[in-house]
Structure 1
Amino acid sequence: MAVGRTARVWIIGTLVVSTIIAAAVVFVIMHLAGERSSVAGSRDLDDVAALDAYAEELGLVMIRNRRPDPAAYARRVDGPGPDVETLELSDPPDTVAPAVVLRIRQQRQERIGWISGQYEEYEISACYRWTFTGMEDYKPDRLEECPEVDVIELGPPPVVPELPDGFGDVLSESLTSLSDAERRVPETVVAAVRSAYTEAVDDALDEPGADPAGILSSDDVLAGDDWVETIDEVIGLAVGRGRSCVLARVTADDVAVWHPDRISLEPGEVGCSASSAAYKGDE
């Protein structure tokens, strides 16, 4: 009887211990699962924050672009490598302002193994839309889904022709060489400008590696008569196009030639204007 009672006690004790161990194992498993779930949720939030911060950095780079052209905005950040891809480019009237959609990728690390301390890399990505209406447009809208479109290959930027280097100096020398009487005659001044421009273009094309497509021709800047304005015996000259511009103010007694500041050449400002050159004082 004593032996039977001892056996029963041993069996009961074994069952109790087994139950406690099983409960402990279940608790540990659930605890680890909860920790992993919490870590995964935290990781997701960190991934979103990382991409959002990177998108704002890209926006700060893009808003420095001076041309209101969506491709020009995207080209500032879409370089070699897969971390930035251009998916959409929009321009008025399709949108209220130039807009760009980019897919952004980043490589991140996650710790694997609770003791080993090893890490594995994984990729995160999202798409964002920037609409450029002003200087505060560096913060984009995060899209719920990326557009199902092919990646746009931007290629090299187009060549934007400009005035030949040194034209301002050549023009100043040409106008200064005229006599006081000659500077009173608009036709004589116009002829001097045309001659100076031809000389400056020829000099620029003589430079090694010169690209004719990168130089504004005389037909581009001296066609018509809107580049010359006479106001009260003051002849104003505006030679150029867009942000490549040389202004001059000619009187019988004086010649002034200058490059206008960038702000005045921005869209909506005075621009490359012959009348503004004529009104300019002796600065």
Structure 2
Amino acid sequence: MKTWGVGLIVLLVVALGVTAYVVSRPDGDSTTDEMAERIATRIGHPRGTDGNAYARAALEGTTDPKYFAVLEVTDSPTDDPQKVHASLLFRVHHPGTSESQQPWRLWEVDPVTACYRADFNHYGVAEGGPDRVACPAGARPITPPPAQRTGVPENYLAAFETILAALPPAPTPDEVLAALRAKLPPMPVDERTRLPWAEPRLDAFVKDGNVGVIAAGGGSCLNGVRLADGTVAAWYPPRVQTRPGEFGCAGQSALQLYKTPPPK
């Protein structure tokens, strides 16, 4: 076969491949791609606790599901910061110019509706950004449940003191945690969402008869100690001391912080 014939066949194969890709690729265009990228980047930080947290962030300020809607929420819990821990499938709509009433437009741009799947890890939207996918047939917009309020209730401080004072002389960490869970006040109800607050994270540490406990939530870290000599205290350390890289927020750090003066 002559060289020009082989070249023509190669060009035809390439052209057919490009055409097949364009025809088979899900609906969308550069405008909807940019819209999806902006949304995914915006909600990637701070890290969402789960898929519903990303969905709530994406829907913030959006009132018309015609232009933006979350269609699926997927959770994949993992402790690996590089791995995907939540995904969203969402739909965006660009109205084009055919839905505009501007009389001065020079050309028509058709409206476009496109769907995207965005994966999120600890660092934000996963590498590659949101992928354009086919919109599921019959998919309906999802409204995620409201978020539970997080924090440590005010009455926990006095409860810490009472519970710690009543502990036996040499409790185990499990016994300390059991006493806390049994005797701490019930979580208050958020007036806005009508949901109880999320349970704070509890931790206990025991060494040589000294007990350290914490309750952490919503950026707060309540500390408590019961020393071997019977001394009991509960307090909120400055956040500069409890953040990662400093003392942190744990039962063991509560004992360390009790003997450490706060920063000036």
**TM-score, normalization: structure 1?**
0.53
Partner of residue 27, structure 1: none
- Cα distance change of structure 1 residues 274 and 133 upon mapping to structure 2, 3 Å threshold: same
Partner of residue 136, structure 2: 148
- Give the partner amino acid of 1:117: W
Partner of residue 92, structure 2: 104
Partner of residue 88, structure 1: 72
- Give the partner amino acid of 2:54: Y
Partner of residue 20, structure 1: none
- Cα distance change of structure 1 residues 87 and 245 upon mapping to structure 2, 3 Å threshold: same
Alpha-carbon separation, structure 1, partners of 2:170 and 2:162:
14
Q: Is the 8 A contact 2:211 2:225 kept in 1?
A: yes
Query: How many positions carry a matched residue from both structures?
Result: 212
Partner of residue 117, structure 1: 104
In the alignment, structure 1 segments of 5+ residues that lack a partner are 1-46
Q: Provide the secondary structure at the position in 2 that maps to 1:101.
A: strand
Partner of residue 131, structure 1: 119
Partner of residue 233, structure 2: 255
Alpha-carbon separation, structure 2, partners of 1:63 and 1:128:
15
- Give the partner amino acid of 2:225: R
**Greater helix share, structure number:** 1
Q: Is the 8 A contact 1:90 1:100 kept in 2?
A: yes
User: Is 2:220 aligned against 1:236?
Assistant: no
- CA shift at 1:100, angstroms? 1.3
- Give the partner amino acid of 1:75: R
Q: Is the 8 A contact 2:222 2:234 kept in 1?
A: no
Deviations 1:221-260 (A, max 9, x none): 88xxxx4432234211133679775332343556242279
Deviations 1:172-222 (A, max 9, x none): 77589x7xxx899467xx799689833xx49x57x98894x41468xx988
User: Is 2:39 aligned against 1:58?
Assistant: yes
RMSD: 4.9
Q: Provide the identity percentage.
A: 19
- Give the partner amino acid of 1:91: D
Q: Provide the secondary structure at the position in 1 that maps to 2:125.
A: coil
- Give the partner amino acid of 2:196: G
**TM-score, normalization: structure 2?**
0.56
Q: Which has the higher contact order (CA 8 A, sep 6+)?
A: 2
Alpha-carbon separation, structure 1, partners of 2:252 and 2:135:
48
Deviations 1:88-126 (A, max 9, x none): 333338x9532112111122337x9xxx83566742222
Q: Is the 8 A contact 1:242 1:271 kept in 2?
A: no
Alpha-carbon separation, structure 1, partners of 2:92 and 2:198:
38
- Cα distance change of structure 1 residues 184 and 69 upon mapping to structure 2, 3 Å threshold: closer
- CA shift at 1:72, angstroms? 2.3
Q: Is the 8 A contact 2:146 2:193 kept in 1?
A: no
- CA shift at 1:166, angstroms? 1.1
Alpha-carbon separation, structure 2, partners of 1:216 and 1:196:
17
Equivalences for 1:1-283 in 2 at 5 Å?
A: 48-64=29-45, 66-78=47-59, 79-81=62-64, 82-92=66-76, 96-109=84-97, 117-118=104-105, 122-137=110-125, 140-143=129-132, 145-158=133-146, 160=148, 162=150, 165-171=153-159, 185=169, 197-198=184-185, 201=186, 204=188, 211=194, 213-215=195-197, 227-239=203-215, 246-251=222-227, 252=229, 255-258=233-236, 273-280=250-257, 281-282=259-260, 283=262
- Cα distance change of structure 1 residues 108 and 74 upon mapping to structure 2, 3 Å threshold: same
- Cα distance change of structure 1 residues 66 and 243 upon mapping to structure 2, 3 Å threshold: farther
Higher radius of gyration, 1 or 2: 1
Alpha-carbon separation, structure 1, partners of 2:88 and 2:193:
33
- Cα distance change of structure 1 residues 162 and 117 upon mapping to structure 2, 3 Å threshold: closer
- CA shift at 1:73, angstroms? 1.1
- Cα distance change of structure 1 residues 60 and 239 upon mapping to structure 2, 3 Å threshold: same
Alpha-carbon separation, structure 1, partners of 2:191 and 2:147:
18
Alpha-carbon separation, structure 2, partners of 1:53 and 1:175:
55
- CA shift at 1:271, angstroms? 8.2
